[in-house]
Amino acid sequence: MDQQITFHDYKPKTLNLQDAVIEGLSRTPKSIPPKFFYDERGSALFATICEQPEYYPPEVEQAMLAELAGEIAGLTGTGRVIFEPGAGSAAKIRLLLPELKPLAYVPMDISCAFLREAARNLAEAFPALPIHATCVDFTHSLPLPETVPPGPRLAFFPGSSIGNFTPASARDFLAMVHDRLGPDGMLLIGVDTKKDPHILHAAYNDAAGVTAAFNLNLLHRIRNETGIECRPENFEHRAFYNPEQGRIEMHLVSRRAQTLRLNGHRFEFSEGESLHTENSYKYTPQEFIHLAASAGLELQNYWLGREELFALYLFRSR
């Protein structure tokens, strides 16, 4: 339809959903990886979470990107190929495009239809920007399509998505990003900071109940897509800060003893038993700079946002 946009489907295997559900519900404690939140409705609910007053990361990070765009461009230069794992609605990159003037933009996301829509909207606002929309599960691989022009690269990973990884897998992921950066590559990454647990608690228990709906949507999704016999209303949302691990944990807690059935498997839940759906790790600058260094990334600069609620880091590949 539009030469400005090329679409590349690496077919993220949602076929694996059933396997992942069976495997996750067979574990003790039970867990399902957070990437399965993002069906179309989950992606839309996440966008709504980002509008909640308690969920400070988007607001603080966007203010930082808007304010620092010129300074960041001074450090990265212009004319890079920007790739963004988990680009979602591709809203944040808009704040950087006028200053960073990239050669091309490669948004990557597991939610193909959502990505296609995001690419179209972005193309309307930035008609001169070549967009290589790449549908992929970025936790597995970061393929840059062959149509992407050569040029120094900049990975953009905002929103503290890195917080979903354990520190050990965050390091592996950053090493994979480092591999994709090539010579003179840079990484601009937004990471949530450690802070007063009350602020964290409110951010994951918003008054409007959007985070709860987002968490519970996982059950609706797996019921629709795997046919598992399960009543989402028999579970409730729970999110809390775990200070030992330095992370927010999200769970779906069984309101009663119940059995979920799928393809001859039976999964027993006792009353109060939880299904662990997400971790969101928080880092002090010292911790994060150390972690990135272990993946071959050298700090260029970092900035703390309002009340040190959020941090942006710019790294160079070594």
Least Å distance, CB 215 to ligand AVJ, is: 7
Q: How far apart are CA 88 and CA 155, in angstroms?
A: 15
Binding part of the chain for ligand AVJ, among 133-141, 157-165, 252-260, 289-297 by CB under 6 A, reads 157-165
Q: Which residue is nearest to ligand AVJ (CB)?
A: 280
Residue 157 near residue 85, CB atoms below 8 Å: yes
Give yes or no for residue 43 binding ligand AVJ (CB under 6 A): no
Which C-beta is closer to ligand AVJ: that of 159 or that of 305?
159
Q: How far apart are CA 164 and CA 162, in angstroms?
A: 5
Neighbours of 124 (CB within 10 A): 10
Give yes or no for residue 163 binding ligand AVJ (CB under 6 A): yes
Which C-beta is closer to ligand AVJ: that of 20 or that of 49?
49
Alpha carbon separation from 83 to 90, 152, 310 (Å, rounded)? 11, 11, 22
Q: How far apart are CA 82 and CA 95, in angstroms?
A: 13
Neighbours of 312 (CB within 10 A): 20
Give yes or no for residue 317 binding ligand AVJ (CB under 6 A): no
Q: How far apart are CA 298 and CA 316, in angstroms?
A: 5
The residues with which 9 forms a beta bridge, in sequence order, are 135
User: Using CB under 6 A, which of 280, 295, 312, 317 touches ligand AVJ?
Assistant: 280
Binding part of the chain for ligand AVJ, among 124-132, 133-141, 161-169, 307-315 by CB under 6 A, reads 161-169
Give yes or no for residue 49 binding ligand AVJ (CB under 6 A): yes
User: Using CB under 6 A, which of 161, 193, 274, 317 touches ligand AVJ?
Assistant: 161
Give yes or no for residue 159 binding ligand AVJ (CB under 6 A): yes
Least Å distance, CB 46 to ligand AVJ, is: 7
Least Å distance, CB 171 to ligand AVJ, is: 17
Give the type of residue at 239: A
Which C-beta is closer to ligand AVJ: that of 108 or that of 148?
108
Q: What is the DSSP letter of 232?
A: G
Site size toward ligand AVJ (CB under 6 A) is: 10
Q: How far apart are CA 251 and CA 41, in angstroms?
A: 19
Give yes or no for residue 58 binding ligand AVJ (CB under 6 A): no
User: Using CB under 6 A, which of 6, 31, 211, 254 touches ligand AVJ?
Assistant: 211
Least Å distance, CB 250 to ligand AVJ, is: 6
Task: Give me Rg for the CA atoms of the chain.
Answer: 20
Give yes or no for residue 160 binding ligand AVJ (CB under 6 A): yes
Which C-beta is closer to ligand AVJ: that of 76 or that of 160?
160
Least Å distance, CB 188 to ligand AVJ, is: 15
Residue 292 near residue 318, CB atoms below 8 Å: no
Q: How many CA atoms lie within 13 A of 226 on its CB side?
A: 25
Within the chain, how many helices (H) and strands (E) appear? 9, 14
Alpha helices for 227-307 (secondary structure H)? 285-293
Residues that bind ligand AVJ (CB under 6 A): 49, 159-161, 163-164, 204, 211, 278, 280
